[in-house]
Chains A and B, each alone.
Chain A
Amino acid sequence: ETGVTQTPRHLVMGMTNKKSLKCEQHLGHNAMYWYKQSAKKPLELMFVYSLEERVENNSVPSRFSPECPNSSHLFLHLHTLQPEDSALYLCASSPTGSTDTQYFGPGTRLTVL
């Protein structure tokens, strides 16, 4: 068990829908991450939260909106997405130390129609 859970595992949505992805970690970590994994492309870091503050936003379009209400939960709110946003969205967490390992959830497979 990785200790990082993501729901839903699969999501199909239309371009006008609003949906949210949820990530929960049970490891006592205080940094959380969203990554996007598209076919034939390296994993793209989207957002980083550390101690519930956003510390990085890698030029992600505003149709993706993250929320970190506490150190155990991370959300990604989606609205007005495009078909090219279809991908596997991975959440990860880590402690804040000198040589941290990131622990990944299983991902949410998102399809935008």
Chain B
Amino acid sequence: GNSVTQMEGPVTLSEEAFLTINCTYTATGYPSLFWYVQYPGEGLQLLLKATKADDKGSNKGFEATYRKETTSFHLEKGSVQVSDSAVYFCALMRTSGSARQLTFGSGTQLTVLP
């Protein structure tokens, strides 16, 4: 079946540090891949996505590249800010009938210190 494995947290960084959160997946076919972010007390927001191999998703300084050969979609940011503190979820999308369904990783808590 489909599954997503994420780097376990929590991750604590100083402001302006480089961030990598690893994500690997298991799926049949060619799923779309997503990173969602959840700020404290809020629901999930889409951060970026990629729909086919070698696509790079990017948003707000975050990037992730769809690597089919390594079944990975690692999240990176060159210089984190305190406002990036949140929980980050990697996810893949599969089709079930007429609806699209997300399978999520367990989430990685990021704390950025000033």
Interface residues of A (CB under 8 A from B): 2, 4, 6, 31, 33, 40-43, 45, 48-51, 55-56, 90, 92, 94, 96-97, 99-107
Contacts and interface: CB of A to CB of B under 8 A. Distances in A.
A89 to B, nearest CB: 10
Interface stretch (B18-26, B69-77, B92-100): B92-100
B104 interface: yes
B46 interface: yes
Contacts of B41: 106
Contacts of A97: 100
11 contacts: A31-B100, A41-B106, A42-B104, A42-B105, A43-B104, A49-B99, A50-B99, A55-B99, A90-B44, A94-B100, A101-B34
Nearest to A91: B43
The winner among B41, B97, B100, B107 for most chain A CB atoms within 10 A is B100
A48 B99 contact: yes
B98 A42 contact: no
A100 B42 contact: no
Interface in B8-59: 32, 34, 36, 41-46, 49, 51
B23 to A, nearest CB: 12
Contacts of A48: 96, 99, 101
Contacts of B89: 43
A56 B99 contact: yes
Contacts of A94: 99-100
